[in-house]
């Protein structure tokens, strides 16, 4: 039974062992591969062959494909390696080619020393085996020439004011032909011209002005052999005339000043190297010398040193000059010897601004507190005044109610003037005179009526009325007091005058005339027939209380009553008390 399994086990072992059933090139993997190399460097052509299991590599040969003028391609043998006879180099390639390893039958990579542009072309690696025969693989070698580039500015340099000119030329030569580009901030025009043999050049043209001097004008070269573009840096050069100014004079030169010096500051491209000093209207003073671009006064200044000094500077392009008038005073002026440090100025300004800000804040707080206290004080005073006015208004209202007994339930708006008129007539009747007599006599009621009707008129009219009232005050004093007394009696007795006064009694009234403090009787014409004031009173003599009451009532009548169309009515008053739905004021 065991012997039957032996062939099967041997078959499994045979299948499990890998075998080279087919030969193949491992490097390069495919034909027609392109190999690149730089000129003057070593070019490597790969060729590594793996034979089949029973094959043996006998020799390896390298060929170069050459195309003649007729376009026919032939092979030229370069080098041969035999397993028994060793290596052999052929005539045209002796010393330039070699195998990379010492066992070329295993790895037949070829090295071409110091490759040239002529080495560009097709190459064939042929491997001979036994017993299968020969195997070959072809490839192409490209030899690159690393570009040689240059950037050449124009010579002589551009001058300001010239026309459209070439500023720089960039050139490059290589294989394959390189690419040129300009990188700049100038507003110019590039012009590229390719040529045969891998050469190329580019010109950059522009209008030269002094503002372009020193600007970037770079040439950038691109080539397959570069890992990144190469840059040729350049700064544009533009020549222009000098610009000159005279410095050193501070408008404070005086007699006796020592160490005075004027400097000729000149720009331009190139910088001026030649300076000339002069003075208008004459030669330079004695003791003054020119040193490079400076004019030095080697002695103390004098009055004769004043004048207009001229500095002339010259460069390769042109010359330019500047002048400055010098004044020499008898005495020096005040001068600030040192300039303020900018940081110090900023600090001072910031400090002043901070102080002003703090001052404004404090002022706002103080003003706010002041007005708050003032408003609080005014509010307190207003409350006190309001309380006083309310108290006085209530007291005045109580006095009016107590002095005038008017029943709102029985009194109407129509009979109020009649009652007032009746009260006044009754009071005047107690004096023995009619109302018409009292009105025509120039009594103070006429002034009262005029002032009531006039209101707040002309101040001159008010003063005339006051004088008239003063003139009649002596004549009407006794009559008013009698009128007030009779009115008080009528109000206290709550007896109202008739609602319809008699017009006949008013018409029969005669004029009341004053005489030596007495009242004339009805129809009397001499002081002998008059009645003394004491005889008209019930008690014969008024005490001080009655005089005060009469005066107060007189003022009340003047301030709170008015006569309209012959009718005595109360004046409108905002402090009055409304005691009747129809608007009766007290």
What is the overall mean pLDDT for the chain? 75
Which parts of the chain have pLDDT scores under 50?
1-20, 336-340, 406-457, 490-544, 577-586
Q: What integer pLDDT is reported at residue 172 of this predicted model?
A: 95
Start-to-end C-alpha separation, the chain = 157
Q: What is the widest separation between alpha-carbon atoms in the chain?
A: 200
* 141 Cβ neighbours under 8 A, 6+ residues apart: 35, 36, 37, 43, 45, 112, 115, 119, 120, 121, 122, 123
User: Which domains does the chain carry?
Assistant: 24-144 (2.60.40.10), 154-236 (2.60.40.10), 241-326 (2.60.40.10)
| Structural contact between residues 87 and 102, judged by C-beta atoms closer than 8 angstroms | no
Structural tokens at position 303: 């009055």
State the pLDDT at residue 484.
55
Phi/psi of residue 79, nearest 5 degrees:
-155, 150
Q: Could you read off the pLDDT of 200-219 as tens digits, one per residue?
A: 999 999 999 999 999 999 99
pLDDT score for 141 = 94
- CA pseudo-torsion sign 156, 159, 163, 165: positive
Q: Specify whether the backbone of 118 is left (phi greater than 0), alpha (psi in -120 to 50) or beta.
A: alpha
Report the pLDDT value the prediction gives residue 472, as an integer from 0 to 100.
63
Check: CB of residue 79 under 8 Å from CB of residue 124. no
Query: Which pair of tokens denotes residue 102?
Result: 């010492």
Length of the chain in terms of residues written: 586
Q: How far apart are CA 449 and CA 444, in angstroms?
A: 9
Between strands 199-206 and 165-175, the pairing is antiparallel
pLDDT at 529: 39
DSSP conformation class of 432: T
- Using the Cα atoms of residue 356, residue 359, residue 365 and residue 369 in order, give the sign of their dihedral: negative
Nearest to 148 by CA among 180, 190, 192, 115: 180
Interior angle at CA 526, CA 520 and CA 528, nearest 5? 85
């Amino acid at each position: 039974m065991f012997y039957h399994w032996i062939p099967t086990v041997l078959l499994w072992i045979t299948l499990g062992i890998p075998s080279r059933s087919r030969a193949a090139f491992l490097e390069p993997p495919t034909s027609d591969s392109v190999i690149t190399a730089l000129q003057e460097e070593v070019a490597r052509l790969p060729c590594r062959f793996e034979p089949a299991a029973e094959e043996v590599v006998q020799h390896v040969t390298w060929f170069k494909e050459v195309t003649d003028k007729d376009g026919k391609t032939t092979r030229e043998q370069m080098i041969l390696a035999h397993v028994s006879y060793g290596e052999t180099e052929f005539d045209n390639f002796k010393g330039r080619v070699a195998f990379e390893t010492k066992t070329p039958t295993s790895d037949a990579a070829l090295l071409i020393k110091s490759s040239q542009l002529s080495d560009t072309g097709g190459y064939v690696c042929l491997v001979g085996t036994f017993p299968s025969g020969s195997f070959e693989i072809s490839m192409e070698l490209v030899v690159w020439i690393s570009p040689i580039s240059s950037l050449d500015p124009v010579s002589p340099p551009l001058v300001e004011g010239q026309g459209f000119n070439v500023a720089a030329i960039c050139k490059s030569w290589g294989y394959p032909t390189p690419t040129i580009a300009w990188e700049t901030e100038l507003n110019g025009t590039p012009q590229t011209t390719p040529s045969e043999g891998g050469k190329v050049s580019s010109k950059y043209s522009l209008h030269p002005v002094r503002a372009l001097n020193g600007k970037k004008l770079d040439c950038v070269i691109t080539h397959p052999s570069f890992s990144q573009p190469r840059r040729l840096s350049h700064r544009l050069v533009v020549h222009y005339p000098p610009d000159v100014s005279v410095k050193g004079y501070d408008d404070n030169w005086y007699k006796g000043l020592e160490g005075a010096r004027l400097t000729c500051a000149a720009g331009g491209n190139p910088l001026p190297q030649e300076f000339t000093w002069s003075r208008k209207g004459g030669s330079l003073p004695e003791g003054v010398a020119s040193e490079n671009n400076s004019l030095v006064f080697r002695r103390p200044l004098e009055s004769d040193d004043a004048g207009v000094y001229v500095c002339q500077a010259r460069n390769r392009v042109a010359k330019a000059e500047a002048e400055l008038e010098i004044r020499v005073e008898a005495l020096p002026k005040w001068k600030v010897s040192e300039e303020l440090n900018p940081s110090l100025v900023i600090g001072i300004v910031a400090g002043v601004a901070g102080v002003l800000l703090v001052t404004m804040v404090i002022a706002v707080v103080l003003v706010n507190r002041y007005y708050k206290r003032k408003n609080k004080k005014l509010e307190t005073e207003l409350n006190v005044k309001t309380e006083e006015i309310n108290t006085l208004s209530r007291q005045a209202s109580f006095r009016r109610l107590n002095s005038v007994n008017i029943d709102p339930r029985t009194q109407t708006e129509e009979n109020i003037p009649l009652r007032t008129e009746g009260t006044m007539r009754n009071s005047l009747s107690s004096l023995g005179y009619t109302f018409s007599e009292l009105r025509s006599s120039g009594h103070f009621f006429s002034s009262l009526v005029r002032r009531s009707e006039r209101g707040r008129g002309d101040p001159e009219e008010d003063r005339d009325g006051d004088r008239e009232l003063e003139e009649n005050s002596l004549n009407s004093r006794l009559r008013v007091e009698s009128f007030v007394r009779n009115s008080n009696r009528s109000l206290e007795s709550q007896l109202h005058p008739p609602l319809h006064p008699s017009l006949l009694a008013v018409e029969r009234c005669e004029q009341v005339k004053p005489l030596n403090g007495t009242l004339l009787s009805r129809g009397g014409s001499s002081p002998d027939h008059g009645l003394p004031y004491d005889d008209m009173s019930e008690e014969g003599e008024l005490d001080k209380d009655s005089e005060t009451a009469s005066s107060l009532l007189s003022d009340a009548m003047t301030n709170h009553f008015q006569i309209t169309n012959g009718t005595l009515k109360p004046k409108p008053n905002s402090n009055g008390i409304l005691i009747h739905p129809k608007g009766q004021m007290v």
